[in-house]
């Protein structure tokens, strides 16, 4: 049985059942929680219609596909809430119901009035991506699958700072200590500190400074995005999950990382630093102090989010790829949509969009 949630009130009332199902699933990230999805909908629902699918078996909730519907270039598109602004997107499905629910999901799409199904940023750990795509073979549907849609990076943290340093190259290890000494030589006080959500605007400012200096618009150029992250940060702080850290030189904040910690894993959302201090490597310095702090607190994974940046590899991160699936009844629809999206995102930072 599939139940469709179409109103915000129904979405609010789904919180308890959603979180209960979330707690039974093995591989999840903070981006599959009710809080992330509801707040994302709340702040970016303009021009979209809610379409959350609940998959039930004998009255028990076995799966949730948190979707919205939008119109784009005369196409009616269904995609997960959080698209174009979330590092890892997935459908919540109980372990023993994956194939059955994925099959029902595709059948629902096949019989709907939707033109195109766009699922981007499926994590590499996703089990429906390859294992169940044979379900599409018997359907009159066209699939565009990009197994290397977007690179993401994470570090498996060692049990001590010394072991972590042994896992990276000698040159990078030497650079870490060189720039720590370099900063302390030029500033009386170099300080790494944890902050509260009340300082989130400082993070926005630092992020925008470095992104605009590189010719990007930056994630936080829009008020709607800032308001979303502010509310999300407060929500995470109330649940002791927020991690907002700063690096300061003589009392001046020069770099910042925004993230959340979930099941002994850190998920960074954005980083920022003041390009005026680039010669002191404030971003790299903050990362190393932050990683050292995480190791000391028993964090096992340090996720550096999406995007190909060389520093992620030098810090010892492993590269994985998010997957993208575009499915429709028309090959032309797939081609048109993908072409338009490439043009839209050219020279733009990855951030939530209104349409």
Report mean pLDDT in 10-residue bins for the chain, 355 residues.
96 97 88 96 95 94 96 92 90 85 90 93 72 72 89 95 97 97 98 98 98 93 96 97 98 99 95 98 98 98 90 94 91 88 56 60
Write down the pTM of the prediction: 0.93
Contact 168, 316 (CB under 8 A): yes
- Six-digit token pair at 30? 């903070």
Q: What is the DSSP string of 264-318?
A: TEEEEEEEEE-GGGGGG-HHHHHHHHHHHHHHHTT--EEEEEES--HHHHHTTPE
Give dist(CA 66, CA 105) in Å, integer: 12
Closest to 11 measured CA to CA, from 63, 70, 68, 52: 52
User: What's the pLDDT score for residue 347?
Assistant: 47
User: What's the pLDDT score for residue 103?
Assistant: 87
Q: Which helix (H) or strand (E) holds 101?
A: helix 98-110
Give dist(CA 33, CA 6) in Å, integer: 18
Residue-range domains of the chain with CATH: 2-150+322-345 (3.40.630), 158-299 (3.40.630.30)
User: What's the pLDDT score for residue 342?
Assistant: 67
Q: Which helix (H) or strand (E) holds 228?
A: helix 223-238
> Which positions ≥6 away from 135 have C-beta within 8 Å?
99, 102, 103, 106
Instruction: Give the Cα-Cα-Cα angle 263, 80, 48 (nearest 5 degrees).
Output: 130
Give dist(CA 100, CA 81) in Å, integer: 22
- Six-digit token pair at 231? 């509310």
Give dist(CA 197, CA 229) in Å, integer: 10
């Amino acid at each position: 049985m599939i139940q469709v949630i179409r109103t915000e009130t129904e979405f609010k009332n789904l919180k308890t059942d959603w979180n209960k199902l979330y707690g039974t699933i093995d591989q999840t990230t903070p981006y599959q929680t009710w809080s992330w999805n509801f707040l994302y909908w709340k702040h970016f629902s303009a021009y979209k219609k809610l379409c959350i699918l609940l998959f039930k078996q004998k009255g028990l909730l076995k799966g949730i596909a948190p979707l919205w519907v939008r119109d784009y270039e005369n196409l009616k598109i269904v995609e997960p809430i959080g698209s174009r602004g979330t590092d890892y997107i997935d459908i919540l499905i109980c372990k023993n119901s994956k194939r059955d629910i994925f099959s029902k999901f595709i059948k629902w799409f096949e019989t709907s009035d939707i033109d195109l199904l766009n699922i981007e940023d499926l994590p590499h750990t996703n089990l429906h991506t390859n294992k169940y795509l044979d379900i599409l073979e018997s359907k009159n549907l066209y699939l565009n699958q990009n197994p290397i849609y977007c690179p993401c990076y994470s570090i498996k943290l060692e049990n001590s700072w010394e072991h972590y340093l042994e896992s990276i190259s000698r040159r990078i290890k030497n650079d870490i200590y060189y720039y720590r000494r370099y900063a302390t030589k030029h500033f009386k006080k170099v300080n790494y500190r944890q902050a509260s959500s009340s300082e989130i605007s400082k993070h926005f400012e630092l992020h925008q400074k470095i992104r605009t200096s590189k010719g990007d618009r930056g994630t936080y150029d829009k008020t709607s995005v800032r308001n979303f992250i502010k509310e999300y940060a407060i929500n995470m702080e109330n649940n002791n999950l927020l991690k907002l850290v700063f690096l300061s030189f003589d009392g001046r904040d020069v770099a910042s990382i925004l993230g959340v910690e979930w099941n002994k894993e850190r998920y960074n959302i954005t980083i920022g630093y003041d390009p005026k201090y680039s010669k002191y490597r404030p971003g790299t310095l903050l990362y190393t102090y932050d990683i050292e702090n995480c190791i000391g607190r028993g964090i096992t994974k340090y996720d550096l989010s999406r995007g190909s940046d060389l520093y992620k590899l030098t810090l010892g991160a492993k590269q994985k790829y998010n997957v993208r699936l575009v499915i429709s009844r028309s090959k032309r629809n797939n081609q048109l949509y993908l072409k338009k999206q490439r043009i839209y995102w050219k020279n733009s930072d990855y951030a939530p969009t209104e349409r």
